[in-house]
Every structure is written in C-alpha cells, then in structure tokens.
Amino acid sequence: NVNIYTYIYLSYFHFTIFYFGCLVVLIGDSGVGKSNLLSRFTRDEFNLESKSTIGVEFATKSIELKNNKIIKAQIWDTAGQERYRAITSAYYRGAVGALLVYDITKKNSFENIEKWLKELRDNADSNIVILLVGNKSDLKHLRVINDNDATQFAKKEKLAFIETSALEATNVELAFHQLLNG
Ligand SMILES: Nc1nc2c(ncn2[C@@H]2O[C@H](COP(=O)(O)OP(=O)(O)OP(=O)(O)O)[C@@H](O)[C@H]2O)c(=O)[nH]1
C-alpha cells in the first residue's frame, strides 16, 4: 500500500538518476558512518554528533575517472535503521555501485554485512559494483574486526575491500573513485 506521495517522491528520485547518470548507494547498519562518508567525500565535512538518517539523503559530486571522463555521481545515503527498509530497498534499482559499510569496532555491523549483501543482490541490477568498506579505521584501540577476516569475506563474496576513516579522511576519496572506476 504505497500512497500517492510515495509515488511522487520515487518519480522524483528516478528522474534525478536519469538526469545525473551515475548512482551510488551507501548501505550498512545504523551508526557505521555512512552519512559522514558522504559528507566527507562531497563537502569535506565531518560531524561528530550526526543524527540518524531518515529515509534517504543524497548529494552529488563531479568526479574525473581514470579515462579522463568526468561524471556526475549522485550518492544516496540510505538509513540503516530497520524501520526504513521498505523505502530504501526501492532505491537499489538503477545503482551502478554500492559501498557496503561496517564499523571496524562493531562486530554486529560486520556480521550484518551478509544480510545487506543479500538485500542488495536481491534488489539491485546484477552488474552493480560492490565495495566492502570497514569504516572508523582511526579507532585502532577499539578494533574488533581485523582486516584479515574482512579480506577473507570479501574474497569469498568476490567484492573489493577497503578500510576508511571519515574522521581522518583516510581512503574516502579512494573508495568512491575505486567504485566508480569499476
Ligand atoms: N571515530 C570515527 N567516528 C566516526 C567515523 N565515521 C562516523 N563516525 C561517527 O559515528 C557516528 C555515526 O555516524 P553516521 O555517519 O551518522 O552513521 P550512519 O551510518 O549514517 O547512521 P544512520 O544514518 O543511522 O544509518 C557519528 O557519531 C559519527 O561522528 C569515523 O571514521 N571515525
């Protein structure tokens, strides 16, 4: 039971994909740092007390690819909270890439990657490029997921893998570029 406002909302987003071309989605548990990866990449901003995303937020940025082509990437930050699942899964369609994010200090967020990956594979186009991202690499003393476990998992699932810190701006640019360069 989708109401008329939801239809208008969805049509608007689908129009913007058509207009901007390259859609990337950020996926993962609530609190892993998706909103901050987006703000670091698009505005070079970090927010220590960022609020939970409601539904979907987006930002755009022009990126120069390896082949010198300049594309305008539209990046959607989807809410990690369970209650928004019904809205966000509709947005996977049409995405060329996905950053699948967990927090290196939260075991649950890594265990849930399997669930996110399934949701992504069930809803997204089959040729979508997926990058596994271990965020908050600055919190070395709180690390519970070592990069070996993540590398193993990524290999098994045929994903690329990178660790980032939105706080220290480590590998954030690289992650988006790697994703869009395919
Ligand atoms: N130390 C550290 N903290 C981070 C980093 N990235 C995000 N945070 C913090 O983690 C908390 C959650 O970040 P958000 O970006 O709001 O997380 P989110 O995944 O967008 O959460 P939802 O919108 O609920 O899905 C905030 O307090 C951020 O300041 C990072 O790289 N290092």
**ipTM for the predicted complex:** 0.98
pTM of the model: 0.87
**Higher pLDDT residue, 116 or 2?**
116
**Higher pLDDT residue, 133 or 76?**
133
Residue with the smallest CA separation from ligand 1 atom 30 is 136
Query: Tell me, what's the pLDDT at 32?
Result: 97
- Cα(34) to centroid of ligand 1, in Å? 6
| Residue 16 pLDDT greater than 60, yes or no | no
CB 136 within 8 A of CB 103: yes
Q: Which residues pair with 8 in a beta bridge?
A: none
Q: Which two tokens stand for residue 132?
A: 């596994």
Residue 86 zone, left/alpha/beta (φ > 0; ψ -120 to 50; rest): alpha
| Residue 1 pLDDT greater than 60, yes or no | no
**33 in ligand 1 pocket by Cβ < 6 Å?**
yes
Nearest partner of 120 among 136, 100, 147, 144, judged by Cα: 100
DSSP letters for 83-130: GGHHHHGGGSTT-SEEEEEEETT-HHHHHTHHHHHHHHHHHS-TT-EE
H helical segments located in the chain = 4-20, 34-43, 85-88, 107-111, 113-123, 147-156, 172-181
Average pLDDT estimate for 37-55: 87
Contacts of 168 (CB under 8 A, 6+ apart): 137, 138
Query: Tell me, what's the pLDDT at 13?
Result: 61
Query: Tell me, what's the pLDDT at 27?
Result: 92
Q: Which residues pair with 63 in a beta bridge?
A: 71
**Higher pLDDT residue, 138 or 120?**
138
Q: What is the pLDDT of residues 154-170, one digit of tens each?
A: 999 999 999 999 999 99
Please, which pLDDT band fits residue 70 given cuts at 50, 70 and 90?
Answer: confident
Mean pLDDT of the chain: 87
Q: What is the pLDDT of residues 91-109, one digit of tens each?
A: 787 889 999 999 999 999 9
| Residue 10 pLDDT greater than 80, yes or no | no
Distances (CA, A) of 76 to 4, 37, 96: 22, 11, 12
- Whole-angstrom Cα Rg for the chain: 16
Pocket test for ligand 1, best of 35, 100, 168, 173 (most atoms within 8 A of CB): 35
